[in-house]
Amino acid sequence: MDHKDLQPRDSFTSKFGMIAATAGSAIGLGNIWRFPYIAGENGGGAFLVVYLLFVLGIGIPVMMSEFVIGRRTQRNPYGAFKKLAPGKPWFLIGFMGVGAAFMILIFYNTVAGWTLEYIYQSVTNAFEGKTSEELTTMFDGFREGSIRPLLWMVVFMALTAWIVLAGVQKGIEKYTKILMPILLALIIILDIRALTLPGGSEGLSFLFKPDFSKINGKTVLEALGQAFFSLSIGMGTLITYGSYIRRKENLANTALSVSLADTFVAILAGVAIFPAVFAFGIDPASEEGLVFIVLPKIFQQMPGGYIFSFMFFILLAVAALTSTISILEVVVAYFVEELKMVRKKATILAAVSISAVGIFAAASWGWASDLTLFGSNIFQLTNFATVNILLPVGGFFIVIFIGWFLKARITGDELSNSGSIKVRYLPTFMFIVKFIAPIAIALVFLYKLGIFGN
């Protein structure tokens, strides 16, 4: 047995470090790359309203539930369910989480690799003077290439593995604490520039004026999936992080702060992107390429845009990194604690096997573009299936577990730190996890399947 197994478990060493690491997991490409194009494709303002409802009514309770399970058991998701429900099939949720982590990294690393390419393009000043069409051609050309997207993906995976190898405190806390606030500042500057573009106000109305006729089964499912994805919930990342949270921290407050910060960043990203989309006449249906086309266009219009774009893409890559480490950690913790592997071997094995499949996702617009199902390539399939299916299904079972299986006394004990903080919200919380959240998730699926209305 590895000697590390005998040492006390790692934990976050300060409150700020803990929030920063958890927010670092939540805030990533989901907010800055995925939220804008998904919101754009699904009706803008109406999507935002549904999204916010899901964050508040389902997301925060699921996040609290994951923290409860993780901190109570001090285990990875799979081991956590085995410990709380011995001999029962609940461990399958943990198992599904490990699988979801694997699948998310397959497409996530591809996009993270794109951010590295765009750091490089910033340095060589490649955006200068390009029209929107030219920037689109540039992005498409890169993504269709057979080497570069793959190479960057592998580089990114290696970076992630390297940090995960350094362990929890030294690896994760140290970097996020400094860099996330800088990213936030840069996004706010981008917002100011975007808001002062001529013709930008149309973009704001698009994001903030809901047109509810745009809502259908697909948009509602996309909003639910995006809420889960952006908050890092539904697959046990936050069970794992919960296991590193110290006994004296307030789990509900942590969930609330992290969720609000995450939502705030997504909205700020939207406020930068949509005014620019309208001001520059960029095709809002640019899908996965949207922010990689719009952002360079904004940088062009800024004094010091060269330095700015360089810094921005570096920090975006860092934001992606603090997310990928939290996802890889789920797979590694499972290998170490359940399969009794040494941490180093576990990390390398996970990174290599994810990259091996990830190569096909990275080549989804290149040589693997013929590998499609229902008209979607491998990247799009893993993206859709994990975000819109695996995460909400995982979340469904997590709230059912807390609401119906785990003794309410245990949940109350964790949320109140053994009675030392008041939890007047507890009955409401229990009502949500028992009824509201699982029923809402089930209804979203039924609605999407067209079982009622549409």
Q: Which residues bind ligand TRP (CB under 6 A)?
A: 25-26, 28-31, 104, 229-230, 232, 235, 237, 323, 326-327, 391
Read off the tokens for 11: 């934990």
* 132/160 with CB nearer ligand TRP: 160
Q: Who's near 139: CB < 8 A, 6+ residues apart? A: 289, 292, 293
The distance of closest approach from Cβ of residue 320 to ligand TRP in the complex, given in angstroms and rounded to an integer, is: 7
The distance of closest approach from Cβ of residue 391 to ligand TRP in the complex, given in angstroms and rounded to an integer, is: 6
CA proximity to 429, closest of 403, 390, 397, 400 = 403
* 59/305 with CB nearer ligand TRP: 59
The distance of closest approach from Cβ of residue 347 to ligand TRP in the complex, given in angstroms and rounded to an integer, is: 17
The distance of closest approach from Cβ of residue 154 to ligand TRP in the complex, given in angstroms and rounded to an integer, is: 19
CA proximity to 349, closest of 336, 337, 362 = 336
The distance of closest approach from Cβ of residue 237 to ligand TRP in the complex, given in angstroms and rounded to an integer, is: 4
Q: Who's near 309: CB < 8 A, 6+ residues apart? A: 118, 122, 127, 295, 296, 299
Cβ atoms within 10 A of the Cβ of 52, count?
16
The distance of closest approach from Cβ of residue 249 to ligand TRP in the complex, given in angstroms and rounded to an integer, is: 20
Integer Cα distance of 40 and 37 in angstroms: 5
The distance of closest approach from Cβ of residue 187 to ligand TRP in the complex, given in angstroms and rounded to an integer, is: 14
Integer Cα distance of 207 and 45 in angstroms: 4
* 94/200 with CB nearer ligand TRP: 94
The single-letter code of the amino acid at 441 is I
Integer Cα distance of 141 and 167 in angstroms: 38
Query: Are 64 and 415 spatial neighbours (Cβ–Cβ below 8 Å)?
Result: yes
Integer Cα distance of 409 and 193 in angstroms: 51
* 183/327 with CB nearer ligand TRP: 327
* 267/368 with CB nearer ligand TRP: 267
Integer Cα distance of 256 and 246 in angstroms: 17
CA atoms within 13 A on the CB side of 180: 29
Ramachandran assignment for 376, one of left (phi > 0), alpha (psi -120 to 50 degrees), beta (any other): beta
* 127/156 with CB nearer ligand TRP: 156
Query: Are 359 and 153 spatial neighbours (Cβ–Cβ below 8 Å)?
Result: yes
- Nearest-CB residue to ligand TRP? 30
Cβ atoms within 10 A of the Cβ of 87, count?
7
The distance of closest approach from Cβ of residue 325 to ligand TRP in the complex, given in angstroms and rounded to an integer, is: 9
The distance of closest approach from Cβ of residue 327 to ligand TRP in the complex, given in angstroms and rounded to an integer, is: 5
* 368/385 with CB nearer ligand TRP: 385
* 138/325 with CB nearer ligand TRP: 325
Q: Who's near 257: CB < 8 A, 6+ residues apart? A: 19, 23
Give the CA diameter of the chain. Answer: 64
* 232/243 with CB nearer ligand TRP: 232
* 132/232 with CB nearer ligand TRP: 232
Rg (alpha carbons) of the chain, rounded to whole number: 21
The distance of closest approach from Cβ of residue 105 to ligand TRP in the complex, given in angstroms and rounded to an integer, is: 9
